[in-house]
Amino acid sequence: MDEDAFLVALQALRADRVQGASELARQGLGILAESALGMAAGDVPELCRQLRARAGQLRQARPSMSPLEHLMQCWSEGLEEVASEDDLAVARRIAAERATELVERSRQAVAGVVAVAAAAIGAGKTLLTHSLSSTVVGVLRALAGQGVRVILSESRPLNEGYRLARLLSELGVPSRLITDAQIGLAVAEADLVLVGADSLFPDGSLVNKVGTYLLALAAHDQGVPFWVCCERFKHRADPLLPQQLERMDPAELGAPALPGVQIENPYFDITPSRLISAWIDELGVRRAAP
């Protein structure tokens, strides 16, 4: 993968509104594997230097998404081993294999979260979710034959709730689609709120699609449990975000352009841990913030 192709792939990852944080992180690892095998480099030190630079750029592409940061960092640390190789071809192969292994670890971690969450939730429940989390989709798939019902929000501006509705329809899981503004009305009808995460802070606070905070407030106000499920690659070590939460193109709102009317499009909000009832990861269910 030459520099031009890398920059195209990096830009696509920045602009992606369809895939979640874990999927994008795995996509980043795929880019690194291709880079390791195919980028121009005269010797092993040059290869490692350039791969580290690419991993750094990928890591910063989506600052609200922890898995990207974690997996890029894990992979960069593995380059120590690659750097000790003399043979450039072998070094390329090892670097690519490390990326593929991390992709597999990420997939297994998500599968672990899904298994833990599905067991903890059990049969016959009505779940309310916001946005489209591939981990939550995994849980709903696991519970599809067990009488699960889902209430889901549109999730403006791009309405990824519509895609979730389509998935549930295909799975035969009965669902109800609501506007984001109707979350406060609908939460009382749910046994449980279940959302995924883009990142979890060390204190348990959650970075997720904008609107999650409002959902958590309503669930808390009405005594409905609010659970977040994500693999440990989404846990952040740093209590501070590296930069402000991402903002996307204001044109996504589809609102009229008018003099004096500003439009912004922040994509994420932060749900404080005091509003969260349980945190689920591949190791189990945690009922209290750390």
Pick the stretch among 83-91, 138-146, 211-219, 277-285 that binds a second copy (CB under 8 A): 211-219
Pick the stretch among 86-94, 116-124, 152-160, 223-231 that binds a second copy (CB under 8 A): 152-160
Q: How far apart are CA 134 and CA 147, in angstroms?
A: 20
69, 118, 130, 214 from 82: Cα distances, Å: 20, 39, 42, 46
Backbone angles phi, psi at 273, to 5 degrees: -65, -25
Choosing from 176, 232, 236, 286, the residue that interacts with a second copy (CB under 8 A) is 176
R_g (Cα) of the chain, nearest Å? 20
Q: With binding defined as CB under 8 A, does residue 240 bind a second copy? A: no
As a residue count, the chain comes to 290
Choosing from 143, 183, 190, 224, the residue that interacts with a second copy (CB under 8 A) is 183
Q: With binding defined as CB under 8 A, does residue 143 bind a second copy? A: no
Residue among 29, 40, 207 nearest 131 (CA): 207
Choosing from 178, 190, 193, 280, the residue that interacts with a second copy (CB under 8 A) is 178
Residue among 243, 204, 213 nearest 69 (CA): 243
Q: Which amino acid is at 278?
A: A
Q: With binding defined as CB under 8 A, does residue 165 bind a second copy? A: yes
Choosing from 51, 113, 206, 214, the residue that interacts with a second copy (CB under 8 A) is 214
Q: With binding defined as CB under 8 A, does residue 213 bind a second copy? A: yes
For a second copy, the closer CB: 134 or 179 = 179
Active site residue 198: yes
For a second copy, the closer CB: 57 or 277 = 277
Residue 11, C-beta contacts closer than 8 angstroms, at least 6 positions apart: none
Which of the following is catalytic: 4, 87, 198, 221? 198
For a second copy, the closer CB: 47 or 214 = 214
Choosing from 45, 174, 202, 284, the residue that interacts with a second copy (CB under 8 A) is 174
CB 177 within 8 A of CB 165: yes
Q: How far apart are CA 290 and CA 286, in angstroms?
A: 9
For residue 113, the 8-state DSSP code is H
Q: Which amino acid is at 244?
A: Q
- Residues lying near a second copy in the complex (CB under 8 A) are found at 153-157, 159, 162, 165-166, 168-169, 172-185, 209-211, 213-214, 217-218, 221, 253, 255-256, 258-264, 266, 269
Residues with catalytic roles? 198
